């Protein structure tokens, strides 16, 4: 959701920041712009995709060795060129690009207009350059600090000033920003993949930081009082190519096919021949024994990962385990005290609602545990304990490998809690542990069925209504499968607990709809089979995700993908894979823009 890029060095800056923006495209955006410093500041902006901006730049590109750039995902004001960032003060010499929301922008705007300011856009961001100008008396750092004292909201922002040309400023509050350091040059970005082609030495900004970025050096101060901060850069060991498509047509397909490896990485060192070891979570026996209630909280796919494990956790741990959407949890005054464990699940670790849920839980005295992919993210830094899902950079907006890594990590965490609390015997622990270890090869086996799924997708693409049905854990998988299909193929897809069909939705079932039946839970198979019969009786066709040798159920399916057998609680990790592929192929055959679906963003850093 919005991307910031910046460069200061000795090379031409604009091609570098444009390349960085390209690497941030996965965050989602609807307009883009660049500002280059060369005596004056020149701004070039365009609505639409980066190629529109690139077309303008190929006719007339500003030169200079300092530039900032931005991809905008519209919040205040439409996705137009006028509203694209960067924005400038009236003299055109102080220029700002910003991610986040300035909550008190209306008051600030009014007061600036009273001072005679005229605004060129409808954005909240534009108050920033005018406010900085109001406080500018020859020092851009002081002016920015003064401006930020008057701002309420969230921001990652970058500022350049034509009168102080050897400096880029960056400040963060509730929105991510990272700085890359190299010999004689520095880079700024919203996310690490945009830095990787240039450097592995990365300084991660924290809330309240203000960075003074010069060629090859950075100093940090606290925005509030100007006091210096010392922080060492971290060395990022991701391979630069792992953030790129690696030969696949889309990032989504690459992510799907990476799942055997990401699952292995999620398990590595945690389940070994010596048993389970999750000491990295910081959760020890006394803290585990004190838990009386657990909430699993996340948004979208991360919420679905919580749904998959909740009933298993509750059955083993014998405490209530509730799964909640973060945007609901944060506003409903849930019962939380110091015997509550709140597990926050997130790929990015920057989702605004999930962070708000974390802060609410902490304030109420709960122990908070992040299950998160992005190292150094806000969630990972603010939670009491962290379990990294270790899925690597996920570029496609639709989450796939991050989800299976979340489910595997949460399964481990549930086992760890049960072991610490003495609620699981050795035999059961080893049975599940052994099943976990073969999951990666079972996923690899499933991926070989991609051609069959592609063939089914070619027939299914003409349909526009899909009902995903399942019971128990299969219902949790159905919800994630429906989300995948709708977000990238724009087909109407809806998940239902199979037993609910006859309570209303059956009225919509005709030969023009498809039912996707998820049927991995042996104990519920017969019940599901009856529900599927009710659907086929109304003429709908069935795509089944089923175990081998499933008898009568197999006969009901027009298309059928067989999922290898595993422990019932781990079956969701396998069952989702054909549904990810189905969504991908339907979207591809329909010609949809897969990696960046319309209206969506990778990282939802606003409410």
Residues of the shown chain interacting with ligand M6R in the complex, contacts defined by CB under 6 A? 299-302, 346-348, 351, 354, 397-399, 483, 487, 603-604
> Minimum Å distance from CB 296 to ligand M6R?
13
Report the residue number, 298 or 547, with the smaller CB distance to ligand M6R: 298
> Minimum Å distance from CB 326 to ligand M6R?
8
> Minimum Å distance from CB 192 to ligand M6R?
15
**Nearest residue to ligand M6R, using CB?**
300
> Minimum Å distance from CB 33 to ligand M6R?
25
Do residues 377 and 331 touch, judged by C-beta distance below 8 A?
no
Report the residue number, 405 or 473, with the smaller CB distance to ligand M6R: 405
Tell me which H or E stretch contains 434.
helix 426-447
Task: Choose among 273, 542, 166, 576: nearest CA to 408.
Answer: 576
Report the residue number, 243 or 528, with the smaller CB distance to ligand M6R: 243
CA distance 302 to 399: 9
> Minimum Å distance from CB 239 to ligand M6R?
22
Report the residue number, 187 or 303, with the smaller CB distance to ligand M6R: 303
Do residues 399 and 347 touch, judged by C-beta distance below 8 A?
yes
Name the E strands within 145-249. 153-161, 168-173, 178-182, 185-189, 201-204, 209-214, 217-222, 228-229, 234-235
Report the residue number, 46 or 400, with the smaller CB distance to ligand M6R: 400
> Minimum Å distance from CB 388 to ligand M6R?
13
CA distance 317 to 292: 9
Tell me which H or E stretch contains 577.
helix 571-589
Tell me which H or E stretch contains 32.
strand 31-38
CA distance 607 to 600: 13
Q: What is the DSSP letter of 483?
A: H
Report the residue number, 517 or 583, with the smaller CB distance to ligand M6R: 583
**Alpha helix (H) ranges present in 71-213?**
105-114, 127-135, 140-149
Q: Is the dihedral of CA 596, 597, 603, 607 positive or negative?
A: positive
CA distance to 13, 66, 182, per residue, from 185 (Å) = 10, 10, 5
DSSP secondary structure string for all residues of 224-270: TT--EE--PPEEP---GGGGS-TT-SSHHHHHHHTHHHHHHHHHTTT
CA distance to 257, 445, 458, 519, per residue, from 449 (Å) = 12, 8, 15, 17
Rg from Cα positions in the chain: 25
In a 3-state reduction of DSSP, which class is residue 425? coil
Do residues 512 and 533 touch, judged by C-beta distance below 8 A?
no
> Minimum Å distance from CB 300 to ligand M6R?
2
Determine what percent of the chain falls in helix, strand and coil, rounding each to the nearest 5.
40, 25, 35
Terminal-residue alpha carbon distance, the chain: 12
Q: What are the residue numbers of the active site? A: 2, 602
> Minimum Å distance from CB 592 to ligand M6R?
14
Report the residue number, 433 or 597, with the smaller CB distance to ligand M6R: 597
Report the residue number, 132 or 576, with the smaller CB distance to ligand M6R: 576
The per-residue b/e assignment along 51-68, b for 16 or more CB within 10 angstroms, e otherwise, is eebbeebeeebbebbbbb
> Minimum Å distance from CB 108 to ligand M6R?
29
CA distance 46 to 27: 17
Sheet strands side by side (includes 385-388): 321-325, 293-298, 340-346, 367-372, 385-388
Report the residue number, 546 or 604, with the smaller CB distance to ligand M6R: 604
> Minimum Å distance from CB 328 to ligand M6R?
14
Report the residue number, 68 or 344, with the smaller CB distance to ligand M6R: 344
Report the residue number, 479 or 566, with the smaller CB distance to ligand M6R: 479
| Two structure tokens written together for 549 | 């040798």
CA distance 83 to 155: 17
> Minimum Å distance from CB 403 to ligand M6R?
8
């Amino acid at each position: 959701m919005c991307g910031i890029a910046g460069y200061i060095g000795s090379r031409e800056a604009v091609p570098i920041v444009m390349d960085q923006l390209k690497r941030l495209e996965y965050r989602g955006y609807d307009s883009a712009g660049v500002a280059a410093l060369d005596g004056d500041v020149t701004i070039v902006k365009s609505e639409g995709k980066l190629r529109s901006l690139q077309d303008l730049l190929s006719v007339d590109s500003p030169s200079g060795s300092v530039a900032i750039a931005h991809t905008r995902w519209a919040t205040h004001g439409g996705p137009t060129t006028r509203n694209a960032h960067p924005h400038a003060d009236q003299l055109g010499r102080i220029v700002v690009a910003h991610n986040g929301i300035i909550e008190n922008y209306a008051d600030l705007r009014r007061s600036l207009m009273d001072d005679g300011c005229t605004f060129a856009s409808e954005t909240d961001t534009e108050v920033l350059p005018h406010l900085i100008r109001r406080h500018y008396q020859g020092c851009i750092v002081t002016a920015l600090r003064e401006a930020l004292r008057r701002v309420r909201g969230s921001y990652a922002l970058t500022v350049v000033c034509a009168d102080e040309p050897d400096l880029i400023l960056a400040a963060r509050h509730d929105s991510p920003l990272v700085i890359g350091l190299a010999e004689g040059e520095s880079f700024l970005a919203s996310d690490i993949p945009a830095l990787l082609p240039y450097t592995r030495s990365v300084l991660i900004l924290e809330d309240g930081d203000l960075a003074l970025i010069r060629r090859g050096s950075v100093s940090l101060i606290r925005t509030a009082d100007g006091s210096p901060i010392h922080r060492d850069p971290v060395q990022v060991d991701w391979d630069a190519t792992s953030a790129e498509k690696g030969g696949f047509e889309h990032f989504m397909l690459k992510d799907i096919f990476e799942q055997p490896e990401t699952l292995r990485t999620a398990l590595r060192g945690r389940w070994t021949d010596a048993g389970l070891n999750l000491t990295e979570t910081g959760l020890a026996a006394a803290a585990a024994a004190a838990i009386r209630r657990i909430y699993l909280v996340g948004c979208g796919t991360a919420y679905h990962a919580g749904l998959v494990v909740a009933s298993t956790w509750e059955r083993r741990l014998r405490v209530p385990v509730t799964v909640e959407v973060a945007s609901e949890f944060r506003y409903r005054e849930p019962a939380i005290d110091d015997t509550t464990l709140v597990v926050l699940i997130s790929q990015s670790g920057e989702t605004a609602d999930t962070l708000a849920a974390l802060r609410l839980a902490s304030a109420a005295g709960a122990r908070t545990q992040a299950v998160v992919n992005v190292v150094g993210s806000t969630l990972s830094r603010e939670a009491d304990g962290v379990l990294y899902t270790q899925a690597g950079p996920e570029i496609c907006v639709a989450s796939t490998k991050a989800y299976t890594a979340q489910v595997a990590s949460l399964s481990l965490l549930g086992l760890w809690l049960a072991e610490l609390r003495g609620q699981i015997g050795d035999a059961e622990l080893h049975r599940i542990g052994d099943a976990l270890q073969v999951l990666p090869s079972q996923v690899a086996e499933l991926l070989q069925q991609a051609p069959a799924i592609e063939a089914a997708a070619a027939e299914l693409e003409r349909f526009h209504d899909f009902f995903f049905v399942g019971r128990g854990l299969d219902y949790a998988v159905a919800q994630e499968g429906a989300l995948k299909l709708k977000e990238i193929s724009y087909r109407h897809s809806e998940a239902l607990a199979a037993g609910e069909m006859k309570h209303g939705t059956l009225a919509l079932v005709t030969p023009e709809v498809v039912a996707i039946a998820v049927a991995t839970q042996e104990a519920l198979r017969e019940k599901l089979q009856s529900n599927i019969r009710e659907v086929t009786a109304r003429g709908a066709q069935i795509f089944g995700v089923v175990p081998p040798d499933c008898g009568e159920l197999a006969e009901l399916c027009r298309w059928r993908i067989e999922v290898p057998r595993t422990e019932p609680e781990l079956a969701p990790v396998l069952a989702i894979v054909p549904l990810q592929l189905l969504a991908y192929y339907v979207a591809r055959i329909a010609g949809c823009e897969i990696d960046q679906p319309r209206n969506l963003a990778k990282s939802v850093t606003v409410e």
